[in-house]
Amino acid sequence: MISYEYQNSLITYDENQNIWYYTNGTSSMMYRPSSGFYLQKENKKMESIPLLTDMKEEALFQEAMLYDAYVLKGAQEEIHKLRIKYENNKNN
């Protein structure tokens, strides 16, 4: 498993190449390469969420009423950068 630590969060790759985003020790978002991003709800169920990085400000603001979309947008951007880095390292 590969992990990247940040000030208040952690991003890890699991053995199935899913990428988990954790804040304060609890998982809050998962990226599955075959199907996209998921938000882990309080009941531990996973709910599909859109790619926030491509949203216009108005739509992002609407998503922010449901969950912390601005923080998750930053996490999605970081996951994208790490996926590129991981793929480049894997191919070398």
Write down the domain spans for the chain: 2-91
**pLDDT bucket at 1, cuts 50 / 70 / 90:** low
**pLDDT bucket at 85, cuts 50 / 70 / 90:** confident
The residue written with tokens 């790619």 in the block is 51
Residues 30-62 pLDDT 10s: 999 889 999 988 778 899 999 999 899 999 999
Cα separation, 6 vs 50, in Å, equals 23
For every residue of 34-77, DSSP letters joined together read TTEEEEE-TTS-EEEE--GGG--HHHHHHHHTTS-HHHHHHHHH
pLDDT value at residue 89: 77
pTM of the model: 0.77
The residue type found at 37 is F
pLDDT value at residue 61: 92
